[in-house]
Amino acid sequence: MARRWMVLLTLGAALVLAGRSANAQTQIEIYGAWHCGSDYCTWASVRDMTDFDTKNHWMIDRGDGSGLPSVNLVVLSFVQPLKLLNKTNDSQTVNGVPIGMNSVVVSYFTSHNIRVMLSMGGITYTTYWDQALSQNATQLGLNAAAVAKSLGVGFEIDYENSSSPNISGLQAFINAYRSQLPYDATGANPAARLTIDLAAGDRYLIGLCQYATPNWLNTSTPVLDYANAMVPNKQPSTSGAESNWQEHVDGKPQYNPPIGPLAPAKFAGSVYLVTGNNPAPECVNFSSSLQNSTGSYVETVAPNGAGTTRGMLGYMFWAAECQGTRSVCTTPPNTCEGGTGVGAKTYNIAFPMPALRQN
């Protein structure tokens, strides 16, 4: 009888472990924030770094005594595409790059094991993307790669043409960038990190989703490192966020042409740090935040036709410091240690960012 019970107990334990394995949580790898600087995403002035640290110290120190940051990625937003193509020099720009996006700001973050990227575009600069791609997409890609090498940063494509995106031009841009900085699965070269923003789900930026998903974001021959599912027009509910992200996982086979499924390992989801005149729980109260309530989904969502591993790459937060004239800034007294910082500790975010899952 004792032996029989031992066999049953062993079998039961094995079944429990098998069940846990089937729904195993995948470590969140990306936990980052877009950064708009002090002037609403233009970065048009050189920052006083004492002031910069006062306003952004929460990003490099979550305030729990560990000395660890609150995020492992910062995306400086935004570069204007046509200025980068023309290597414009004016009162706000040096060789096409906003003067605030300089090596001192980059080093502020990288010295704390936080990866840095530059985002090119945004909804305000969509027309400039169109113009730059039609004029000389290849040169734009070469110029972006040169900046990436010079500053030791990656690049994010934020091209929000929802009606008629210039896909061939964007392909030429990517080809040129990759000719200088080939895809690097190890993540060892920060400049080789090239990503794209897609919509919160598959119902916006449809043309980009239709092409990017199978051609640039597949797991067999990836061209871009991953995509960010952008924030919707307002902070979603838990179910709303998960529903949007599930659209990427499932694709839209009913569209013509269809949008194929996107591997969970090829994208991160996004939420707001501030909502109007108030910091959101995502900034100040982890227990009430979306990164808390959606955590199980993000860590365990199963592939549905693309990829083999469970779980999205992680979270992106929009946006640090001052994102707009009608929004509160994430500066004292509204810094984000209690939301984003606690989340980084809760999810045991790695610093520096590890090599990303490829399948």
pLDDT recorded at residue 13 = 37
Q: How far apart are CA 318 and CA 326, in angstroms?
A: 14
Average pLDDT for 334-350: 98
Average pLDDT for 112-121: 98
Question: Hey, what are 202's tokens?
Answer: 């598959």
pLDDT in tens, 139-161: 999 999 999 999 999 999 999 99
Q: How far apart are CA 282 and CA 326, in angstroms?
A: 18
Contact 295, 301 (CB under 8 A): no
Q: How far apart are the first and last CA of the chain?
A: 46
CA angle 257, 262, 265 (to 5 degrees): 165
Closest C-alpha to 100, from 74, 78, 71, 126: 78
Measured CA to CA in angstroms, residue 154 lies from 44, 202, 309 at distances of 20, 25, 25
Average pLDDT for 133-139: 98
On the question of pLDDT at 3 being above 80, the answer is no
On the question of pLDDT at 88 being above 90, the answer is yes
Name the average pLDDT for the chain.
94
Closest C-alpha to 264, from 332, 311, 204: 311
CB neighbours of residue 16 within 10 Å: 10
Strands of the chain, DSSP E: 30-35, 73-79, 93-94, 97-98, 115-121, 154-158, 194-198, 227-229, 267-272, 274-275, 278-279, 314-320
Contact 337, 68 (CB under 8 A): no
Contact 319, 273 (CB under 8 A): yes
Q: How far apart are CA 56 and CA 73, in angstroms?
A: 14
Measured CA to CA in angstroms, residue 292 lies from 72, 93, 127, 298 at distances of 17, 39, 37, 10
Q: How far apart are CA 305 and CA 263, in angstroms?
A: 8
Architecture of the CATH domain 27-346: Alpha-Beta Barrel (3.20)
pLDDT in tens, 18-27: 333 445 789 9
Burial class of residue 199 in the structure, from the number of CB atoms within 10 Å of its CB (0-12 exposed, 13-18 middle, 19+ buried): buried
On the question of pLDDT at 301 being above 80, the answer is yes
> If you search the block for the tokens 């991953």, which residue do you land on?
226
pLDDT recorded at residue 350 = 98
Q: How far apart are CA 174 and CA 314, in angstroms?
A: 24
pLDDT recorded at residue 23 = 57
pLDDT in tens, 149-206: 999 999 999 999 999 999 999 999 999 999 999 999 999 999 999 999 999 999 999 9
Question: Does the pTM of the predicted model rise above 0.85?
Answer: yes
DSSP-derived letter for residue 103 is: H
